[in-house]
A and B are shown apart, each in its own frame.
Chain A
């Protein structure tokens, strides 16, 4: 079985500052890991995913995440926050292709001017 924990339901950063959203997972099999973003009144949009191979994954809008098996983590980062990054971010895990995806409770990112 899989589960995911996102640390911090709300995170605030200043525009131009580093964005770090934390995610830890639990999985009984090699996991597939995802980050999604949700803007108001919209569905979830995939930011990036890790399935196999390189552990540093680059996504859209300048975001990246690193799979660290030893720490069971998949934290999301962006070097410089932009006002347009304000949204809710979801970390998710699955046991592989066609396995159900389990989502964390989400982290709302606030960008301070």
Chain B
């Protein structure tokens, strides 16, 4: 966990609202990943960046989801508009050889 700080840890929002999840890597890396974890689908890779460039976003479920990485120390995952089925824990991870995960953001859309 020491390599990645995610905020907020918990987010409750109403359907239709915009949600922004934040990730701050605090150690050197080349790649950054966003994952979503649910009971039904397990851990899903949404998107990953290499040297701040999106490499593979095939896991992003819909156009409502977007991710940015403006610099090596910051990334965001945005959902607009949010829906109840987006409720999940979202993890950011950095990778050199293995992945180092943040604590996650638990999102609840009501």
Contact = CB atoms under 8 A, between A and B. Distances in A.
Interface residues of A, number: 22
A90 interface: yes
B45 A102 contact: yes
Contacts, number: 59
Interface in A68-112: 90, 92, 97-98, 100-106
Contact of A103 (B30, B31, B42): B42
Contacts of A103: 35, 42-43, 45
Contacts of B33: 100-101
Given A42-B1, A43-B91, A100-B48, A51 B97 contact: yes
Interface bracket on B: 20 to 34
Interface in A22-58: 32, 34, 36, 41-46, 49, 51
Contacts of B102: 43
Given A45-B1, A106-B42, A106-B43, A101 B50 contact: no
B106 to A, nearest CB: 8
Contacts of A42: 1, 103-104
Nearest to B35: A103
B99 interface: yes
Contacts of A41: 106
Given A101-B98, A103-B43, 6 more contacts: A44-B93, A49-B97, A97-B97, A98-B31, A98-B95, A103-B35
